[in-house]
Amino acid sequence: MRVDETAVVVGLCAFDERCDGTAVELSLCAQVKEDWKYVAMVLDRLFLWIFTLAVLVGSAGIILQAPTLYDERAPIDVRLSEIAYATAKPRPPPPR
């Protein structure tokens, strides 16, 4: 059985407007409002976790696709720099 969403919204608005009656009706209206606040808080927390997970997975996917992570070649500045050979790694100079 499918419920029409607009009918639910109209019914809730009509129910909210009727809340100027007895103490029982006011108490019921307050309870309904608190229930909806709780539902909104739960959904908000759920969407926060979904968003956080999506950001973390997306960031990890982008970072892990960087081609420099899997490049085994020596950097060009280490291969061609005479300063790197003189200061960082005492090796013989590159062949010319």
Q: What pLDDT tens digit does each residue of the chain (96 aa) get?
A: 456 655 555 565 555 555 556 776 777 888 888 999 999 999 999 999 999 999 999 999 999 998 888 888 877 776 677 765 666 655 666 676
Whether 92 maps to a domain, the answer reads no
For residue 88, what is the DSSP state? T
Q: What are phi and psi of 14, to 5 degrees?
A: -65, -40
pLDDT at residue number 58? 97
Query: Which pLDDT belongs to residue 70?
Result: 85
- Number of domains the chain is built from: 1
Looking at the whole model, is its pTM more than 0.85?
no
Domain range for residue 83?
5-87
Asked, for residue 94, whether it belongs to a domain, the answer is no
What pLDDT is attached to residue 6? 57
CA dihedral angle for residue 55, residue 61, residue 63, residue 68, rounded to 10 degrees? -170
User: Within 13 Å and on the Cβ side, how many CA atoms surround 11?
Assistant: 7
- Assess contact for 18 and 25: CB atoms under 8 A: yes
Q: Does 95 reside within a domain?
A: no
